[in-house]
Amino acid sequence: MIRSLFRSLTRRARVESDMAAEIQFHIDAFAADLGKRGVPREEALRRARLEFGPIEAKKEECRQSLGLRFFDELRADLRYAARLLKQSPGFAAVAIVSLAMGIGANTAIFAMAKELLFTKMSVPEAGRLRAFSWVLKPGQQFPAAAWGAFGPGMAAPFSYPIYQDMRQSNPVLDDLVAFKDVNQLPVTVDGEAEAVDAWLVSGNFYPVLGAKIIAGRPIAPEDDSPAAAPVCVISDAYWARRFGRSASALGQTIYLNRAPLTIVGVNAPEFKGPKSGTTAEFFLPIALFQQVIPDPKGSPLTRNFWFVMIMGRLKPGVSEQAAQTALAANFADAFRADLPEKKASDMPTFRLVAGGRGLDTQTRLFARPSYFLLALAGLVLLIACVNLANLLLARSASRQREMSLRIAMGASHWRVMRQVLTESLLIAILGGAAGLLLGYWGRDLIPRLFDQRAVHPQIDWAVFAFAFLITLATGLLFGLVPAWRSTRADVNCGLQETTRMSLGRGRSLFGKSLVVAQVGLSLLLLIGAGLFLRTLVNLQSSALGFHPERILLFGIRAPRRSYTGARSVTLFHQLHDKITALPGVQSASLSALPLLADMMSLNCFHPSGRPPTSDDADSAWTNRVGPGFFETMGLPIVSGRSFTARDNERAPRVAIVNRRLAKQFFGDANPIGQTINSCDTDEAKTPIEIIGVSADAKYSSLREEPPPTVYFPYLQSAEGSEMTFEIKTAASESSIIAEIREAVRSVDKELPLLDIRTQAQQIDETLSQERVFAILSAAFGAVALILASIGIYGVMSYTVARRTNEIGIRMALGARSSAVLGMILRESLWLTLIGVTIGLAAAAGLAKFAESMLYGLKPRDPLTFAGAALLLIAVALAAGFTPARRASTVDPMQALRHE
């Protein structure tokens, strides 16, 4: 039956000609039979036709039998709807553009959310992958040194010996793989240095996960041994960028952090590594850890050092719960075997978590913002729907006669409704198609605002289906009410000369309540936009405590292979001297942590002579800085002195504290000359003398007040192999970077400058989320404002048109035009005020959900609420002014003849 319908639809012309031929044959044959009985030919044909009945009507019945009627009517409806849209291009443009913006925003945000939150690793059966994690009980100390990110629901680091033990006895998962990300390693190819990200992976990583290779071979289990020839696999992007996809890259030797590696393979472009939202350039066997990143404390593979992530596929038929129980027992065994000196109470609690996305740091960061943005975009679409419903309602009122005529001529109510719905769906589909196009163009825009440059949302079938569904939903949402209304017409009234009678109070009341709803929803968005904009401005203008202007930042990492211990300090000292001497540099310094980069180092100190306490009173945020740091950053020293190059490893240990810490440790006493001790028992013996007090400055985040901070001279400690340089300069960025590159090259020609940016950009980077919210909510707010003004304009124009007669009478009776103007303006003001009241109440109720995203203002900030409300009222009055003016210039004579 469906096949028959499909055939009839696709070969429509054939169906029609066959039908005609068949009927013709029937008539001819009948006529011929009549002819045999002696009826003259002409007469025979006439009688044959007569006996057959009305041919066209029968054909129509045949079409109906084939199920074609629905489609014929649909085509007629669509043609009619298209013609109507063409007749009112203004309406069509407003409808399609507003829907396109709403659907486009939703599509782009949905695509981003899907990519950020749900895209799995490009390996077979990623859904079965599980990662190992652990949690600590409240107050529990972590039993070892660890390196890596961890959070709820995320893969957590384990020690390599525990990985090996658990791999030995693992009944519930397929073979376990281990991996660790190492970022910003210098790589030297053909004498040129740059920084890359790398993954250390266990030898079974490629065969077990099934990650694809497009050239050469993957890392094999044999490669994962200190005795094996050092090899690596590179990413497709790096292959393209560095080697132009040349086959000669395979077999080439490169130097990663000064360790020679032979390239043996290239990853498939879709395999980006086991961490969502990132792309790494290099993959190498984990056995090469000590060769590539030498650790003075010995190989991390044999120590109690927790750094590898562990993952495996759940065996078919094993339940999540059974796997969790079995692995937790395995973990306990491994923990006891590898760390016999630790107590059972030191053991973290094992957790099995989803591993399909690898190391998933993004869900935690982006889940809330994504859903919040989807809600905002959904609100815009809802406003667009309400606006359209309102415009359509006004249109349907002016088409009352047409509908009445159709019903009077026998069209069923359902048939009339179907026609109006077809029109709405046509508008929705046009808007949806344009929206999908907008979403496609803008798909990279929002991730870029979020500083997620590695994220490229795909417009795939799921996104397409989402766009299609919201399109249908919007079409029904804004079309259903006008469609239903159009059939409620009183046929008698509708057909009379004037349309006035059929326009009951109910209809205009309904239209007005739509406008009220629209105003309320728009105000919600405007208030959101105001809150987020002010949050961004508050953050950007918050007092930093230092001057970030014209400061250039870059990182230098001293490869441990060449610079062990104190030699790295010498390297940084040399670099600092060279850079300070450059002509374009006003002053230069360096620090272990860049300021306002979401990085922190939290330690415990206590004033000498007072025992350490266990509470927060002793915790201090630390930074190791070079001479000239305070001068370069514009961070004032309020008493004592700043660091100099003489505060080195041969000099007594010194520190500079900020005011807040001075107050916390010493109250109102003069801190200069006092000493502090580390709570760490190894270091506690050396007292550290305070030589200066600095002003309070923000440390890692704009949202935090300046914390109690202690600065140490980096020249007095050999720890850490990466420093960030701060260069105060008046020269242009590109020329100064070239100078610095040359200076660094003269010290060590294989040291890349890492992550070059200005301090202002650095601060901006930490505001990406706030900026996205501010930009998008402001854009959405603007759209809502425009739509609200269109809605008010539409409904007031309609009111004025409907009341032309009445206004004419009023004016004929002596009403002045200013009074009429006031009357109409008052009406639109009332609508707006009701909407604003509802919007304010809703915003007050919803604001608390945004509280954690705001800074420097309360969620029910009265200034923002009032400002948004006033803006909306002003725009509404402006939108209502044109119709009001039209009403006030009505010529009574014409208006009374208007009918």
Partner 1 sequence: MSKPLDLLQGTLDLLILKAVSLGPLHGYGILLRIQQISKDRLEIQQGSLYPALYRLEHQGAIASEWGESENNRKAKYYRLTRAGERQLRAETEKWTQMSAVIAGILGVEEV
- Enumerate binding residues for partner 1 (CB under 8 A): 1, 4-5, 18-19, 21-23, 25-26, 28-30, 32, 51-55, 57-58, 61-67
> What does the alpha-carbon distance between residue 838 and residue 841 come to, in Å, rounded to a whole number?
5
Minimal distance in Å, beta carbon 57 to partner 1?
8
List for the chain the helix, strand, coil content (%; round to 5): 55, 15, 30
Identity of the residue, 32 or 638, whose beta carbon is nearer to partner 1 in the bound complex? 32
Give the angle 554-559-562 at the CA atoms, nearest 5°.
135
Amino acid, single-letter form, for residue 484: W
Bridge-based pairing state of the strands 259-267 and 231-234: parallel
Q: Phi and psi dihedrals of 199, rounded to 5?
A: -115, 130
Closer residue to partner 1, CB minimum distance, 19 or 449: 19
To partner 1, the closest distance from the beta carbon of 29 in angstroms equals 4
CB of 35 to partner 1, least distance (A): 12
For partner 1, give the closer residue by CB, 62 or 240. 62
For the bound state, the minimum distance from the C-beta of residue 78 to partner 1, rounded and expressed in Å, comes to: 24
| Alpha helices by DSSP H, 748-816 | 759-765, 768-802, 804-812
Phi, psi of 329, deg, nearest 5: -65, -45
Query: How many Cβ atoms are within 10 Å of 793's Cβ, its own excluded?
Result: 19
Spatial CA neighbour of 350 closest among 321, 328, 332: 328
Q: What's the half-sphere exposure (Cβ side, CA atoms, 13 Å) at 669?
A: 11
Residues 6+ apart with CB under 8 A from 555: 184, 594, 722, 723, 724, 725, 753, 754, 755
For partner 1, which is the closer residue by CB, 53 or 340?
A: 53
Which DSSP string do the residues of 177-241 spell out, in sequence order? EEEEEEEEEEEEETTEEEEEEEEEE-TTHHHHHT--EEEE----GGGSSTTSPPEEEE-HHHHHH
Tokens of 534: 């002010």
Task: Quote the least distance from Cβ 20 to partner 1, whole Å.
Answer: 11
- Residue 21 CB, nearest approach to partner 1 (Å): 7
Residue 173, phi then psi, degrees to nearest 5: -115, 155
SS3 state of residue 654: strand
Residues 549 and 554: their CA atoms lie apart, in Å, by 15
d(CA 890, CA 645): 86
Nearest to partner 1 of 5, 537 (CB atom): 5
Residue 93 identity (one-letter amino acid):
A
- Output the smallest distance, CB 42 to partner 1, in A: 19
In the DSSP assignment, the letter for residue 318 is: -
Length of the chain: 899
Nearer to partner 1, 56 or 341 (CB): 56
CA dihedral sign, ordered 375, 380, 382, 383: positive
- Residue 68 Cβ, how far from partner 1 at the closest point, in Å? 9
Q: How far is the CB of 361 from partner 1 (least distance, A)?
A: 58
Q: Which is nearer to partner 1, 12 or 653 (CB)?
A: 12
Q: Which is nearer to partner 1, 30 or 80 (CB)?
A: 30
How far apart are the C-alpha atoms of 373 and 218, rounded to whole Å?
Answer: 40
Q: Which is nearer to partner 1, 29 or 473 (CB)?
A: 29
Q: Smaller CB distance to partner 1: residue 1 or 409?
A: 1
Could you tell me the two tokens for 49? 């036709």
Which residue number, 68 or 596, has a Cβ lying nearer to partner 1? 68
Nearest to residue 357, comparing CAs of 115, 178, 134?
115
What token pair was written down for 256?
A: 């990663």
CB of 67 to partner 1, least distance (A): 6
Give the nearest distance from C-beta 62 to partner 1 in angstroms. Answer: 4
Minimum distance from CB of 46 to partner 1 (Å)?
Answer: 14
By beta-carbon proximity to partner 1, the closer residue of 71 and 484 is 71
To partner 1, the closest distance from the beta carbon of 13 in angstroms equals 16
- Between 66 and 834, CB nearer to partner 1: 66
Instruction: Name 349's bridge partners.
Output: 135
Alpha-carbon distance of 152 to 354, in angstroms, equals: 11
Q: How many CA atoms lie within 13 A of 149 on its CB side?
A: 16
Give the nearer residue to partner 1 in terms of CB position, either 67 or 584: 67
Nearer to partner 1, 48 or 784 (CB): 48
Helices (H) and strands (E) in the chain, counts: 28, 23
Determine which helix (DSSP H) or strand (DSSP E) holds 332, and give its type and residue range.
helix 320-338
The C-alpha atoms of residue 656 and residue 672 are separated, in whole angstroms, by: 9
